[in-house]
Amino acid sequence: MRPDLTLLGVLAVQLFLDAVSSAAELRIGLSADVTTMDPHFVAAQPNLTAQLHVFDSLVRTDERSRPVPGIATWRTPDSLTWEFTLRKGVKFHDGTELTTEDVVFSLERPFTITGSPGGFQTYVRPIAAKEIVDRYTVRLKTAAPYGALLQDLAEVMIVSKKAAAQASGEDFDRGKAAVGTGPYKLTRFARGSRIELARHDEYWGGRLPWDRLTLLILPSDPVRTAALLSGQVDAIEHVPSADIARLRKNAAFRLEQTVSWRTIFLHLDQSRDRPPGVLSKAGKPLEKNPFKDLRVRRAMSKAINRQAIAERVMEGLAMPAGNVLSPSVIGHDPAVKPEPHDPEGAKKLLAEAGYPNGFAVTLATPNNRYINDEQVAQTVAQMLARAGIAARVEAMPLSVYLGRARSREFGVALLGWGSRAADLALRSLAATANPDKGYGTWNWGGYSNPKLDELIAQSLGAVDPARREALARSASALAAREIPFIPLHYQVVTWAMKNNLSYSARTDEYTFAHHFKPR
């Protein structure tokens, strides 16, 4: 009997592909440093990008930031109860099975973290009670209806109680406590250099094409692009605007783009009488804080030509912003438009506010975190100067900038923010600081408006999606009128990769190796 040559051919090809897959390595160039592998220490996106390769959350979000099941599915028996059912057979990297004991431990652990510049307590604080029903079912109770719980839980990673119960941050960095259920196991964390990972063969999400993964820390734009062109890496995130045209013309590579959820904006210190770096043009302290006057905040907004920044500085990788978050996000109000560029109107408002000759400010910015961040700050400074506000830029690496900004060393500071929904963003960025409620954790300007606080609370408390959307839009509109911060633009995010790879561009800007596919 003659063998079926077609079948033999198919089997041979499959065996070859399996062999290639088992030995395949993916190397990705990341744009910012990862400071820790402890998934509950600081809610900074570069850290989360790396940690979500190792750990899972109860809830995931899709490419458009909508909640989908992660290691659990859910139902809501009533407006105060969320019941989560774990997938059965989900294994940690050490071979033990995930249970609801690990889930409850992980939801309580953020409260034990000290010294964090921006932790996860905000995401778990709405949970008033946790009830373990059985090995695979847990009920979470909220004190009041809370519609944003799924988005919050997408940020909170589940760790092994056995591995993490007595663990320090160093234990996570060394890999001893970095025991998750995610697609990859941590094998080496070299801060500022690289993160090396190996495939988790018992991963519940199925077999992955990459046996080994290396995340290289390449914050320098030219170095990141050069690494791709030379073959040092297979893909890079946050492609520099200056390199996009060249890469687009090169048949060896492909690009993936989408409008990010991230808004770049300016924080203005509105709480202290004499904010740092805000002086008269003669270098003397002002009698009062000009940013407490809405007319001054609006004048600064009018002085900025957002379209010019988007077209020239960002080279098309931005959209002028008026809302707290971009159009794809829950609560974006399409009726809110970017402030029109009006330098003469800005001068008039400054004169009305008592500053006919303007004043001087220092604008602080990171120089290695967002697309063209220092160039954006320099351009904004020039635009403010044309309206009468002498602005000097102080740029520094994110590793230095973030700690100083959190310590409120700056009167004017540039920040980028992305979130699953507008009410969640406003809760962190503009709500009156209230540690007990988890409000205002990133409100560097000290802005406070009880009306906005109430709208945020109402929106977050709406379990019905349509009602929540309407309330979140109202909160976005109020923030646009009151200007707790000055939105500049929404980023357009770009990935570049070898032409034999594909990637689904994500509005949340996350770069996940397990979402890269061979073509």
Query: What is the pTM assigned to this prediction?
Result: 0.77
Q: 349 with 481, same domain?
A: yes
Q: Are strands 81-86 and 184-190 parallel, antiparallel or unpaired?
A: unpaired
Q: Is the pLDDT of residue 48 over 50?
A: yes
Unique residue bearing structure tokens 């507008």: 422
Q: Is the pLDDT of residue 402 over 50?
A: yes
Answer yes or no: is 392 within a domain: yes
pLDDT tens digit sequence for 441-487 = 899 999 999 999 999 999 999 988 899 999 999 999 999 999 999 99
- Do the beta carbons of residue 450 and residue 440 sit within 8 Å? no
Distances in Å between the Cα of 421 and the Cα atoms of 237, 260, 319 are: 23, 13, 18
Q: 151 with 287, same domain?
A: no
pLDDT at 23: 54
Q: Is the pLDDT of residue 7 over 70?
A: no
User: What CATH number corresponds to the domain at position 47?
Assistant: 3.90.76.10
Answer yes or no: is 431 within a domain: yes
Q: How many domains does the chain have?
A: 2
pLDDT at 78: 94
- 244 Cβ contact list (under 8 Å, min separation 6): 255, 315, 317, 494
What's the whole-number mean pLDDT along residues 278-307? 97
pLDDT at 17: 41
Tokens coding 427: 């809760």
Q: 163 with 284, same domain?
A: no
The residues that bridge with 60 in the sheet, in sequence order, are 68
* pLDDT band of 418, cuts 50, 70, 90: confident
pLDDT tens digit sequence for 345-371 = 999 999 999 999 999 999 999 998 898
User: Which of 111, 197, 195 shows the shortest CA–CA distance to 438?
Assistant: 111
**Domain extent at residue 305:** 262-490
**Percent of the chain surpassing pLDDT 90:** 85
pLDDT at 21: 41
pLDDT tens digit sequence for 58-90 = 999 998 888 999 999 999 999 999 999 999 999
Q: 146 with 283, same domain?
A: no
pLDDT tens digit sequence for 105-162 = 999 999 999 888 778 998 999 999 999 999 999 999 999 999 999 999 999 999 999 9
Q: 419 with 271, same domain?
A: yes
User: What CATH number corresponds to the domain at position 344?
Assistant: 3.10.105.10
Answer yes or no: is 435 within a domain: yes
* pLDDT band of 5, cuts 50, 70, 90: very low
